[in-house]
Structure 1
Amino acid sequence: MARFILQRLRQGILSLLGLVLLVFVLARLTGSPAHLYLPEDASPQMVAAFNAENGFDKPLYIQLVHFLAGVFRLDFGESLLYGDPAVTVVLQRFPATLQLASVTMLIAVTLAIVVGAASAARRGSYGDAATRLGSMAALSVPDFWIALMGVAVFAVYWNLLPTSGMGGWQFWVLPLLTLALRPFGILTQVVRASMLDALDSDYVRVAKSKGVGPGAVIYKHALRNAAIPILTVAGILAAQVVNGALVVETVFGWPGIGNLMVTAIKGRDFAVIQAVVLITGAAIIVLNFLIDIAYSWLNPQIGLGE
């Protein structure tokens, strides 16, 4: 266990460091943001003073050293847009994205397990064909198209739901529908395929011969043994949902890190951009670590040290 944890920790730190370095360099290739924050007629002396105050006048490698030193203290610098520490700005927005992503995956996984398992149990039926067709359509439709059509139909034309913001359940419907549709379609396909393999296995035949009921066979015996590929895909999709929030939060004005990231990129707020990437990357690494632990629980034959 200790060896496994150290291996995953080392891999996670190296991945995160590489990601931060890449974002650090790419952000600064756009040049100094001085002209975004100073008047159009700002003198060269004003620009030079702005760059000196924010450290943009130093060579790139000096800026990188200062940034990495700050990361170890959880200090990403001060946001140019908000005037607060970047880590504070990001952590204030992160719960909104985490809530949206968590509820999205909960809905997608639950529905996919129910629908996919039922489809596998009734293979070849009209319901099975409808499930396959519906899940294929769900995973094929782009998120941004669903978001725009949802706003146009339910918010503008029918005036049933709000167009943006975060509040009561009405504000959750369109963002959740937009984000959950694609994971639901993919997971339904995976659940169905995994359940078909499990239902054709010897241990399911033995359970049936012992008189075990259909529900217990499907959800107790077959589903647990089909859970590893489902868990693998669900973990990948969870990371994609966080990334997909970039589009959804922008369309619906959701006050999360996706919306914050777009604003920071437009304003060249380097500190916030780097903080978003680092905190989001760390969250995804932790998620992958927890999925690896779950593998060993679902199948003890999987060695943690391997």
Structure 2
Amino acid sequence: MTAVLSPTGPPGPPAGAPPSPARPARPRWPLSARYVLSRLLNAVLAVWAVLTIVFFAMHMTGNPASLLLPIDASEEEIARLTAALGFADPLPEQYLRFLGQVLTGQFPASIRHGGDPVALVLERLPATLLLGTWGMIIGASLGLAAGAVATFGRNRRLRRVPISVLTALEAVPSFFLGIVLIAVFSIALSVLPLRGAGTPAHLVLPAVVIGLALAAPVARVFRTSLQESTGAEHVRLAEAKGIGRAQVVLRHIVVNALAPVLNVLGVQAGVVLGGAVVTEAVFGWPGVGQLATSAIDSRDFPVVLACVALIAFGFVLVNLLVDLAAAILDPRGGRR
């Protein structure tokens, strides 16, 4: 037999010989190094920007030493305490010292409590995480249900009702919605506690307030993503193969529609942490938000900055993880 010569490469297999088995394709990691590095850089810049804005904003509110001394304190006493706290140094020097403290985690002692502000924040963190987790569970459940009803509901006239209701509730300020819920369920009906923590019943109202603020954007994005996935080519192909409707909806429509929802949940995680400041103050929930509120009132700069650093880090970390998870679900975005 004579070998078949390839015009552009080595001789091919002899004529009539069985084809060689194809090599299995190597699994390709859906995230490129460039994509991951760019997200890490964006995360670092976001944390730096938030901390910088809060640092200069806090220093514009006045000298905290004046709050720690009696009203009739002399200028010398105020100046002495200001120097002892480090607020007499030039502002750029204070800023650079603050960045070094953030990098090392060694914040100055709390002005009001006298202890490590990071320890104070970490002590309140579990309560905030508990409230935020249940708030996101409630918000995601309501949003996904409303988006599914708006897409697959049989009655076209009632499809938009759940999303319309959630959008209307989204427009209500969190503190006002919390007061209304307290008036109805704690005062009028007396079925839920008014304020505080300690039992699962104390968690219901603040978690509902946070969840209602989260549900509307999840519902809108999920509805739009479901509608786009319903008309996709792979969905029509699955239906042409005779696959059951329920399996097509779950495996080919809903799964593909979840990636944009993950992005929304990542963004809304920051809203949950920020909204917890107001919600915790309304319901007396002993979390980081309540600690930050009291620290702002007393101009306790170390505690405020420690709270902001933790919230900013948590927000950026959640968004980073959500971006990576969404890129894995949709590999086209993670390979750019």
TM-score, normalised relative to structure 1: 0.93
Correspondence 1:65-214 to 2 at 5 A = 65-122=96-153, 124-214=155-245
**Residues in 1 aligned to 2:81 and 2:89: alpha-carbon distance in whole angstroms:** 12
Between stretches 34-43 and 259-268, larger displacement belongs to 34-43
Partner of 1:263: 294
Q: Do the aligned partners of 2:108 and 2:302 also contact (CA within 8 Å) in 1?
A: yes
CA shift for structure 1 position 272? 1.0
**Residues in 2 aligned to 1:196 and 1:71: alpha-carbon distance in whole angstroms:** 45
Between stretches 262-271 and 34-43, larger displacement belongs to 34-43
Q: Structure 2: which amino acid aligns with 1:219? A: L
Partner of 1:290: 321
CA shift for structure 1 position 245? 0.8
Kindly indicate which of the two structures has a greater share of residues assigned to helix: 1
**Residues in 2 aligned to 1:4 and 1:132: alpha-carbon distance in whole angstroms:** 34
Picking from 22, 36, 42, the partner of 2:53 is 22
**Residues in 2 aligned to 1:264 and 1:224: alpha-carbon distance in whole angstroms:** 44
Partner of 1:278: 309
Partner of 2:37: 6
Q: Do the aligned partners of 2:132 and 2:273 also contact (CA within 8 Å) in 1?
A: yes
**Residues in 1 aligned to 2:179 and 2:167: alpha-carbon distance in whole angstroms:** 20
CA deviations on 1:224-269 (whole Å, 9 max, x unpaired) are 1112221222211121111111110110011111111111111001
Larger Rg computed on CA atoms: 2
Determine whether 1:58 maps to 2:89: yes
Between stretches 207-216 and 218-227, larger displacement belongs to 207-216
**Residues in 1 aligned to 2:238 and 2:40: alpha-carbon distance in whole angstroms:** 41
User: How many residues are aligned here?
Assistant: 305
CA shift for structure 1 position 214? 2.9
**Residues in 1 aligned to 2:114 and 2:328: alpha-carbon distance in whole angstroms:** 46
Let me know the Cα RMSD of the aligned residues: 1.8
Unaligned runs of 5+ in 2: 1-31
**Residues in 2 aligned to 1:276 and 1:158: alpha-carbon distance in whole angstroms:** 36
CA deviations on 1:55-95 (whole Å, 9 max, x unpaired) are 11222122223222222220111111211111111111122
Unaligned runs of 5+ in 1: none
Q: Do the aligned partners of 1:113 and 1:188 also contact (CA within 8 Å) in 2?
A: yes
Determine whether 1:43 maps to 2:65: no
Determine whether 1:222 maps to 2:253: yes
Q: Do the aligned partners of 2:137 and 2:211 also contact (CA within 8 Å) in 1?
A: no
User: 3-state SS of the aligned residue for 1:268?
Assistant: coil
CA shift for structure 1 position 126? 4.0
TM-score, normalised relative to structure 2: 0.85
User: 3-state SS of the aligned residue for 1:84?
Assistant: coil
CA shift for structure 1 position 220? 1.7
Picking from 294, 303, 306, the partner of 2:334 is 303
Partner of 2:276: 245
Q: Do the aligned partners of 2:35 and 2:334 also contact (CA within 8 Å) in 1?
A: no
User: 3-state SS of the aligned residue for 1:92?
Assistant: helix
